[in-house]
Amino acid sequence: MYVHTEYLQFNTKNRYDTIHITPEVEEIVRESGIREGMVLVSAMHITAGVYVNDLESGLIVDIQEWLEKLAPYGQPYKHHQTGEDNGDAHLKRLLIGHQVILPITNGKLDLGTWEQVFYAEFDGQRKKRVIVKVMGER
C-alpha cells in the first residue's frame, strides 16, 4: 500500500465560509499516482469541518442557516466562560463533521453524480489546515 499526504491551507476573510475543494482533492489524488484506494480529507482544527454534498448555492445557504439555527452565534455557551467567543463554531463542527473518506477508482475520485467536497469554516480569519491523505495501490 502506498500513502501520499498533502495539506490545504485556508485563511478566510469571514468568520463563516464554505469553500468548494473538490478540484484540489482531485489534483492531489492524480499527483499521488494511486489507482485504487481511499482518500481521507480532514479538517485539522476544532472549529472547521469537511463534508460532501451538492454544489448548489441555495443548498449551501440552507446548510449555513440550518447550522445557525441549531448552534446560534452569541449565545451564553459555557465555553465562553474560558474567555472564548466561539462556542457555536465547536458545535457547528460536530454537526457537519470533521472528515470524509472518499473512494478512488481507476486513479480518480469516485463520487456520486452530484457529490462535491467542501471545507466549512466556522471561526475563520486565521490560518487553518486540511490534511488530504491518499492511500491505496498504484
Identity at 36, one-letter amino acid code: E
Residue 88 CA to residue 122 CA, distance in Å, equals 8
Enumerate residues 6+ apart whose C-beta is below 8 A from 56.
none
Distance of alpha carbon 63 from the chain centroid:
14
The secondary structure of 18-61 as a DSSP string is EEE-HHHHHHHHHHHT--EEEEEEEE-STTEEEEEEE--HHHHH
φ, ψ dihedrals at 137, nearest 5° = -110, 145
Question: Quick one: pLDDT at residue 1?
Answer: 95
- Cβ pair 117, 21 in contact under 8 A: yes
Residue 121 CA to residue 130 CA, distance in Å, equals 11
Question: Quick one: pLDDT at residue 81?
Answer: 95
Question: Quick one: pLDDT at residue 12?
Answer: 97
Question: Quick one: pLDDT at residue 106?
Answer: 98
**Residue carrying the nine cell digits 476573510:** 13
Q: What is the pTM of this model?
A: 0.96
Residue 87 CA to residue 128 CA, distance in Å, equals 17
**Residue carrying the nine cell digits 472547521:** 48
Q: Please list the ranges in the chain whose pLDDT falls under 70.
A: none
DSSP-assigned beta bridge partners for residue 104: 37, 109
CATH of 2-72+85-137, picked from 3.20.20.80, 3.30.420.40, 2.40.30.170, 2.60.120.460, is: 2.60.120.460
Question: Quick one: pLDDT at residue 83?
Answer: 94
- List, for residues 34-62, the tens digit of each pLDDT value: 999 999 999 999 999 999 999 999 999 99
